[in-house]
Amino acid sequence: MISALKQMLQTIESWPPEDQQALAEAAREIEAERTGVYVMTPEEESAVEEGLAQADRGEFASDDEIAALWRRQGN
């Protein structure tokens, strides 16, 4: 199995960046399921920090904005 993975890694290096990113995300999810620990990407960590900063500033969506979002999503 290890040799098959090594061969696949060589192929993966030629994939477009978005495909490599998708594979990395899938691998992180598998690892999180195995270990019970999810490690955020720098982008995810940044988004969480921004969301917390918005909450600290009292920037919340109104009930009407949330209802409109659900309507757009078909719910």
25-42 burial: b if 16+ Cβ within 10 Å, else e: eeeeeeeeeeeeeeeeee
Reported as a pLDDT band with limits 50, 70 and 90, residue 75 is confident
Reply yes or no on whether the pLDDT at 11 is more than 90: yes
Q: Which residues 6+ apart lie within 8 Å of 28 measured at CB?
A: 38, 39, 41
Average pLDDT for 55-75: 93
Q: What's the pLDDT at 73?
A: 92
Stretch 45-58: mean pLDDT, rounded?
96
Give the model's pLDDT for residue 1: 66
Which of the four pLDDT bands, split at 50, 70 and 90, describes residue 5?
A: confident
